[in-house]
A and B are shown apart, each in its own frame.
Chain A
Amino acid sequence: MTVIIILMIPVLLAAAAMLVRKQKITGILNSLGYLIVLFESVLLLKKVLASGAIRLWGDFIYIDALSAFFIFVISVVVFASALYSVGYIKKDIERGVISDKKSKVYYTLFNLFCFSMFLVPAVNNLGMLWVAIEMTTLISAFLVGFYNTKESVEAAWKYIIICSVGIIFALLGTILFSYAFSISGLTKSLNWSDMAPVAHILNKDILKVAFVFILVGYGTKAGLAPMHTWLPDAHSQAVAPISALLSGVLLKTAIYAILRFGIIIIKGVGFAYFANLMMFFGVVSLVISCGFILVQKDLKRLLAYSSIEHIGIIAIGFGLYTPLAIAGALLHIFNHAVVKSLMFFGAGNIVSAYRKHNMNTIRGVIRALPFTGVILLIGCFALTGFPPFSVFISEILIIIAAFVHGSYLIAALLLLLLGVIFGAFIYNFGKMLFGNLPKGMAVTGEPLSGKIAFLFLLSLICALAIVLPFIKKDLLCLAQRLLQG
C-alpha cells in the first residue's frame, strides 16, 4: 500500500498542478504531498528491513532493501526541492523571468519527473527499468531547457542526445542479459527477481559483455567519466531546484540500475569483474573531476563537477567490495544527495540575487544574503568532507575500507585528491562569501520556504553523527545483503 501511495502522489500532484490556478497553492500542495511521501518512504524502509521484499501487481513492483533505500533518498531530496521551489518560482515570476502560465508547466514537469524517478527503484522488470530511466531523461530535458536561453537549450540538446545514446547501449546490455537468461533453458522473463536467483547458471561470457554495455550506458546517465560531458552543462543550466534533483538523486537512480545488474554479475561471474570495472570508472571520474574543479570559474559548474567527483567516490566504494566499503558507499549516496541539494539551493539564491554565475565577480554573499551565506559556508565544509559533518563519516569509511582491504594506492589517491578539492572549494567559496557588498546591491529578505528547506537538509547533515550508532546495524545488514545479492 505504501508503495502505491508513493507512486500515486506525484501523479496526482501533476494533475493538480495543471488544474489549480494559483501557483502558490500548487507549491504548498507539492510540499505537503512530498512530506507524506517522505513519511511513507521511511515506513516502507522499516517494513522491508523487518519483513523482506514486497511484490505487487503480479511481480511488476518489487521492493527489497536496496530499492527502499533509494526511494527514501529520492523522497528526502524531492521534499526539500518542492519546498525550495515555492519561493524560487515565486521570485522568478515577480522578476518577470517566467510567466504565471509557465510556472504551471514547471510544476507539472517537476511532478512527472519525480514520478519517473520513484518508478526506477520500484519496478522489477529490467526493460521497464530502462523505460523509467529514459523517461527521467526526456522529462528533465525540458526542465534543463526551461529558461529557453541559448545556453540552456544547448545544454538540453547535449543532455538528451548524449544520454539517449548512452541509454541505447544500456538497452543492448539489457537484451544481452535477457538472452543469457533465455539460452539457459528457462522461461522467457526480464524480471530481476527471476534472474538474480539463477545468475550462477547463466553464460559467463555473455554476462561479461552485457555488463560492459550496461556500465557504459547507465554510467553515462550516472555521470561517470569519461561519459560525463553532458553533466556540467545540464546541471548548471537547469532551474535551481531541478539542478538539486539532477545532481542529488537522478545520478543515483542510474547507480541503482548499475547495482541491480551488478548483483547478477557478482553471482554469475564473480565479484572481481564487477569490482574492477567500478574501481576503474570511479578513479577516472575522481581524477578528471578534480582537474576541472581546480580551473572552474562558474559556480554551478563547480558544483556539477563536484557531483562527478562524488559519483566517483561512490563507485570506488562499491569497487572495493567489502561490507565496510559498501556501507560507506550507501551512506555516501544519501549524504551526497543531501549536501549537494543544499549547495545547489544556495547557488540558486546567489545566482538569482547577483544575476551572474562567475565566481570571480561575486563578492560579499554573507552580507547580501545572510542566511544563505552562513548555510553555504557550513555546506561547503560539509561537501568537502570536513568533520563532524555526514560526508566526512562516509568518506572516512571508504578510506578505512581501502586501507583494511590493502588498496593503499587507492586510499592515498582518495586522500590526496580530496585534499586538493577541499582547497579549491574553500578558496572559491571564501572569496565569494566574504568581502564587501557590491555597490548598488540591496539586502533582500529570503523566502521562508527556502529557509525551511535549508534547515531540513542541514539537520540531516548534522544529525547523522547522532543517528549513526542506531542505524549502524541496519546499514551493515543492508550492505551484507547486497554482498550476497
Chain B
Amino acid sequence: MHEFILFGILATTYLMVIAKRVPALIRSFRYQSFFIFLVTLVAGFTEKQAALYFIALLILVLKVFIIPLALEWIANKINVDENLGLFVNAQLSLAIALVLTYGSFIFSRSLGFAKDYGLVAVTVAFSVIFIGAFLMISRMKAFSQVAGLLVMENGIFIFASFVSGGMPFFVEIAVFLDVLVSVIIMGLFVYRINKLFTHIDVNKLSRLRG
C-alpha cells in the first residue's frame, strides 16, 4: 500500500515536469499533496499515533486546499500569460527527471537505506526534492519558483516521515506554518513584481548585476 502511494507521488511529480501552463502545474501540485496526505493517513493507521492524524489533516487543509487555492487566486488576479515558459522542453525535462530519480536511487542506496520499503520511500523523497529544484531553475515564470519550492518541501516531508518517524510534533507544526507564511509572502512578491514590471518572467529580472 505504501509503495503504491509513493509511486503515485512520483507520477504526480512527473506530471508537474511536463506541465506547460500555470493551472496544470497547480493542479498537479494538488494531486501530489493529496498523495502525501494519504501516505500520512496510512502511517497514522499503522502506527496508531494521534499526532499523525492531525498532521494528515493539516496537509489536507493547507496543501490540498489553501495553498493551491491561494496560488490560483493570485494567478487569476494578476492575469498574465498562462504559459510557464519552459527553458527545457517537456520531453527533455522528463528525461532529466528520470535521470534525477535514478540518481536519487543510487544516492539513497549508498546512504544505507536498503532495507524493506525504506529504499523506495527515500528514493521517492530525494527525487521529489531534486525535481523540485530542477523545476525552479528551468521555468521562466515566477510561479514555477514558488511551486518548485513547495515540491521540494513536500519531498522533505516524505523523507522526514519515513527516516525518523517524523520530526517532533511542535517542530512539524512550526515548519507547516513557516511554509504557509512563505507561500503567502512569495505570492505577495509575485504580485508586486507584476505590478512594477508588468510581467513575472524571472529571467528578465536583471537590473542588479556585478
Contacts and interface: CB of A to CB of B under 8 A. Distances in A.
Interface in B194-210: 196-197, 202, 205, 207-208, 210
A262 interface: no
A233 B168 contact: no
Contacts of A160: 182, 185-186, 189
Contact of A161 (B145, B167, B178, B210): B145
Given A141-B189, A165-B149, A175-B156, A206 B164 contact: no
B35 interface: no
Given A172-B156, A179-B164, A188-B164, A154 B207 contact: yes
A144 B197 CA distance: 17
A153 interface: yes
Contacts of B152: 165, 168
Nearest to A131: B174
Interface residues of B, number: 37
Identify which of A150, A164, A296 gathers the most chain B CB atoms within 10 Å of its CB.
A164
Contact of B175 (A131, A141, A145, A179): A131
Contacts of A237: 208
B196 A153 contact: yes
Interface in B133-151: 133, 136, 142, 145, 149
A436 interface: no
A40 interface: no
A375 B146 CA distance: 43
A151 B182 contact: no
B9 interface: no
B188 to A, nearest CB: 9
Contacts of A125: 168, 171
B88 interface: no
A189 interface: yes
Interface in A195-251: 203, 205-206, 209, 232-233, 236-237
Contact of B165 (A149, A155, A182, A233): A182
Nearest to B177: A131
Given A148-B192, A157-B205, A296-B210, A127 B167 contact: yes
A252 B19 CA distance: 40
Given A141-B189, A188-B165, A148 B196 contact: yes
B193 A301 contact: no
B197 A179 contact: no
- Pick the most buried of A142, A175, A236: most chain B CB atoms within 10 A of its CB: A175
Contacts of A148: 192, 196
A190 B159 CA distance: 16
B111 interface: yes
A297 B167 CA distance: 47
Contact of B193 (A130, A153, A296, A298): A153
B84 interface: no
A156 B149 contact: no
B178 A134 contact: yes
B163 interface: yes
Nearest to B152: A168
A138 interface: yes
A182 B160 CA distance: 12
Interface in B20-65: none
A189 B189 contact: no
Contacts of A236: 208
Contacts of A150: 196-197, 207
Contacts of A203: 112
Given A172-B156, A205-B112, A138 B175 contact: no
29 contacts: A127-B167, A127-B168, A128-B170, A131-B171, A131-B174, A134-B182, A138-B182, A145-B192, A154-B193, A154-B208, A156-B189, A157-B189, A160-B186, A160-B189, A161-B136, A165-B133, A168-B149, A171-B175, A172-B159, A175-B160, A175-B164, A178-B167, A179-B163, A181-B164, A182-B164, A209-B111, A237-B208, A298-B210, A301-B210
Interface of A: 125, 127-128, 130-131, 134-135, 138, 141-142, 145, 148-151, 153-158, 160-161, 164-165, 168, 171-172, 175-176, 178-179, 181-182, 188-190, 203, 205-206, 209, 232-233, 236-237, 292, 295-298, 301
Given A141-B185, A150-B207, A151-B207, 5 more contacts: A168-B129, A171-B175, A175-B160, A205-B111, A236-B208
